[in-house]
Amino acid sequence: MKTVHERALTAILWAILLFLTACSKDKVPVPEPLPDETAPPIRQLIREIDWETFEYKASVSYHADSSIHHISYTGSRGQTELKTYAYKEKNVSEVNVAGSISKKLYEYDGKGRLKTMRMMKKNAGPYDNSVKIVFVYDDQGVVQKLERYQITPAGMRMDVFHHYEYDKAGELVRIRSEQSDGYQTLTHIKGFSPQFDHDPWLFIEDFSNPDYAVFNFPVLHAMKGRLPLQITYEIPDKNGAFKAQRITTQQFQVADKKIQRMKVTIHYPGLVQADDESEISFKY
């Protein structure tokens, strides 16, 4: 049998062992939780666009899910313009500009791809004209054609259609356009900017822009966060040979997936006095 002294010594040794064990447990680092790979990536949001050359600015407001709520434009003379976006099932369904008599409506197919876009009067009557654009995709979801229609009280007629051509890597390289009277033009795409975070809707152009066949949502979305470096627009001469009428060059400063600056130069061969250049900066 153990003596009282032996029992006390044993108790002390056990106490020391338990103390040391507890201390060693405290020193074991707690593993950090693994990142949630299912969570959507954090996207850098462009908050302000400044067309410095024209003293024109745009302030962008977003919803909680990072979709655009509205864009407020301000000119050098204090004139303002507000563009508001409406959504249906997380897709842009309508774009309205305050003060404009027209609005744009967007419809999607069963696969979530933009199918049609229509520009019409906000309070359109049965005899008002409108414009309708239809996007045609292949089995892989790549845009093959853009059809533009004029809708009048007399009916709907095709105004122009654009055929998209791609290289072996799947990059857009050329757009062949044909009007209803048979007149054809060519648009060449050369090179792309570094990839940066942005919502393609920030770079959508209206029908009044000659390069709207490039700057529309399905085409920009397929560029995966990039924009063209050069766009050359060609028209046929009197002999039928195509020649460049307008060359748009875009230079980009991108850092950490953020576009910092953009320089746009538009050159008209043979009409140097018509050349144009603009500097654009971005804030987050």
CA angle 184, 144, 200 (to 5 degrees): 100
Q: What is the percent of the chain where pLDDT is above 70?
A: 85
pLDDT at 90: 94
What distance in Å separates the CA atoms of residue 104 and residue 85, rounded to the nearest whole number? Answer: 10
Burial class (CB in 10 A: 0-12, 13-18, 19+), 210: middle
What is the mean pLDDT of the segment spanning 126-135? 93
Domains assigned to the chain? 44-283 (2.40.160.190)
Give the model's confidence band at 126: pLDDT under 50 very low, under 70 low, under 90 confident, else very high. confident
pLDDT tens digits, one per residue of 167-194:
999 999 999 999 999 999 999 999 999 9
Helix (H) / strand (E) element for 230: namely: strand 228-236
Determine contact, residues 116/101, Cβ cutoff 8 Å: no
Reported as a pLDDT band with limits 50, 70 and 90, residue 4 is very low
pLDDT of residue 42: 67
Mean per-residue pLDDT, 101-111: 96
Which pLDDT score, from 0 to 100, does residue 138 have?
Answer: 97
Distance between CA 37 and CA 97 in Å, rounded?
38
The C-alpha R_g of the chain, in whole angstroms, comes to: 29
Mode of pairing for the β-strands spanning 102-108 and 242-255? unpaired
Q: What is the DSSP string of 67-88?
A: -EEEEEEE-TTS-EEEEEEEEE
Q: Which residues touch 18 (CB under 8 Å, ≥6 apart)?
A: none
Residue 80: C-alpha distances to residues 95, 191, 203, 207 (Å)? 17, 35, 19, 21
In Å, what is the CA distance from 90 to each residue of 77, 83, 272?
36, 18, 45
C-alpha 190/C-alpha 192 separation (Å) is 7
Give the tens place of pLDDT for each residue, 207-248.
Answer: 778 899 999 999 999 999 999 999 999 999 999 999 999 999
Long-range contacts of 6-11 (CB under 8 A, 24+ apart): none
Contact 96, 86 (CB under 8 A): yes
Is the pLDDT at 53 greater than 50? The verdict is yes
What's this model's pTM, rounded to 2 decimal places? 0.82
Pick the residue with more confidence: 156 or 273? 156
Lowest mean pLDDT among 27-31, 109-113, 235-239: 27-31
Q: Please name which of 196, 204, 243 lies closest in space to residue 220, comparing C-alpha atoms.
A: 204
Spatial contact of 144 and 136, defined as CB atoms under 8 Å apart: yes
Tell me what pLDDT residue 31 has. Answer: 53
Mean pLDDT in residue range 35-43: 53
Mean pLDDT of 136-150: 97
Which residue from 119, 125, 121, 173 is spatially nearest to 148, judged by alpha carbons? 119
pLDDT for 250-272, tens place per residue?
999 999 999 999 999 999 998 87
With cut-offs at 50, 70 and 90, classify the pLDDT of residue 41.
low
Predicted pLDDT at 127: 86
Q: What percent of the chain lies above the pLDDT cut of 90?
A: 76
Mean pLDDT, the chain, whole residue set:
88
**Mind listing the pLDDT tens digit for each residue in 56-90?**
999 999 999 999 999 999 999 989 999 999 999 99
> CB burial class (10 A; 0-12, 13-18, 19+) of residue 98?
exposed
Q: What is the pLDDT of residue 209?
A: 85
